[in-house]
Amino acid sequence: MNGSLIEVERPDGRIAVEVGGRGPLVLCVPGMGENRASFRHLVPLLADAGYRVAVMDLRGHGDSSAEFSSYDDPATAGDLLAVVDALGGAPATIIGNSMGAAAAVIAAADRPESIAKLVLIGPFVRDHGPAGLRTLMRLMLLRPWGPAVWRGYASSLFGGIRPDDHEEQFGHTMALLRRPGRWRAFQSTVREVTHAPAEAALPRVHAPALVIMGSRDRDFPDPEAEARWIADALQGEHRMIPGAGHYPMAEQADAVFAELRDFLSKEASHG
């Protein structure tokens, strides 16, 4: 990724955004624990196809500030809309991964005029599992053992096909979370996040939607069933990436681009 790095001011801090290419705006939003480099292999494909591509870091992640008062899905939705406004790119296509997909759904429901299309990759748009399990995860992420626990879990979320730079980039991602204030912000994100607001927003979304799911995404008991459920809720489409885990755009960017290329080029028609 060789775009220009800018900062978008928010009430409690700044959101780091990397921008490159020319054309209609596509904003990529990573998932919790990740950073904008998770889209590093997809960005050049989008730029070469004629899009202006922006990739943001979540609050407390990457190069964004780590002193925010909230880190939940609605806050992230506000951030991505602020980025679209700052870049003057509305209506934009949003490509959201995991928690970033939940924020994209909320943004599309709250400001439909600003969102042209949604691409949801490994999307969490509703809560899964018992509340007790989520509480256990929060306890496991406490220091001093938390970083090691997260490293092991996050590593397991990738599928069997990985790019040549995977190990280097994964190490960099873990190093970013160890910077001052970042682990505390990450813990706040884990503690605060519920995807109930995204699930409640689904009926209000009218932007065309494409759901992309890895067939080996272990965050879901049945990845294809989840992809189909979300696509049906949004009256959209779903595509599976064989062998991919929770981050198909980082693992198999060519396969992801092949699935979304025609979707992006179609004329958007809101219902």
% of the chain surpassing 90 pLDDT: 88
Residue 109's pLDDT band (cuts 50, 70, 90): very high
> For the segment 6-48, what is each residue's pLDDT rounded down to a tens digit?
999 999 999 999 999 999 999 999 999 999 999 999 999 999 9
Residue 3's pLDDT band (cuts 50, 70, 90): confident
**Which whole number is the average pLDDT over 83-91?**
97
CA-CA distances (angstroms) from residue 251 to 26, 162, 269?
20, 5, 31
**Which whole number is the average pLDDT over 78-91?**
97
Report pLDDT for 271: 44
Report pLDDT for 247: 98
Number of residues that this document lists for the chain: 271
Report pLDDT for 75: 98
The region of weakest confidence among 102-106, 186-190, 247-251 is 186-190
Evaluate if residue 235 carries a pLDDT over 90: yes
Evaluate if residue 139 carries a pLDDT over 90: no
Strands 4-10 and 13-20 come out as antiparallel
ω into 91 cis (within 30 of 0): yes
User: What letter would DSSP give residue 27?
Assistant: E
CA-CA distances (angstroms) from residue 168 to 37, 68, 163, 256?
11, 29, 10, 22
Task: Say which residues have a Cβ less than 8 Å from residue 71's Cβ, sequence separation at least 6.
Answer: 58, 59, 60, 185, 188, 189, 192, 193
Report pLDDT for 130: 60
CA-CA distances (angstroms) from residue 189 to 26, 41, 156, 194, 200?
25, 26, 20, 10, 20
Does residue 140 or residue 257 have the better pLDDT? 257
Report pLDDT for 270: 46
Q: Where are the beta strands (DSSP E) in the chain?
A: 4-10, 13-20, 25-29, 52-56, 92-97, 115-121, 209-214, 237-241
Q: Which two tokens stand for residue 71?
A: 């880190």
Sign of CA dihedral 186, 188, 190, 196: negative
The SS3 of residue 84 is helix
% of the chain surpassing 70 pLDDT: 94
User: What pTM does this model have?
Assistant: 0.95
Evaluate if residue 144 carries a pLDDT over 70: yes
User: Would you list the DSSP string of 192-256?
Assistant: H--SHHHHHHGGG--S-EEEEEETT-TTSSSHHHHHHHHHHHTT-EEEEETT--S-HHHH-HHHH
Report pLDDT for 143: 72
Q: Mean pLDDT, the chain, as a whole number?
A: 94
ω into 197 cis (within 30 of 0): no
267 Rama sector, left if φ>0, alpha if ψ -120 to 50, beta otherwise: beta
Report pLDDT for 131: 63
- Tokens 């809720």 correspond to 233
Evaluate if residue 141 carries a pLDDT over 90: no
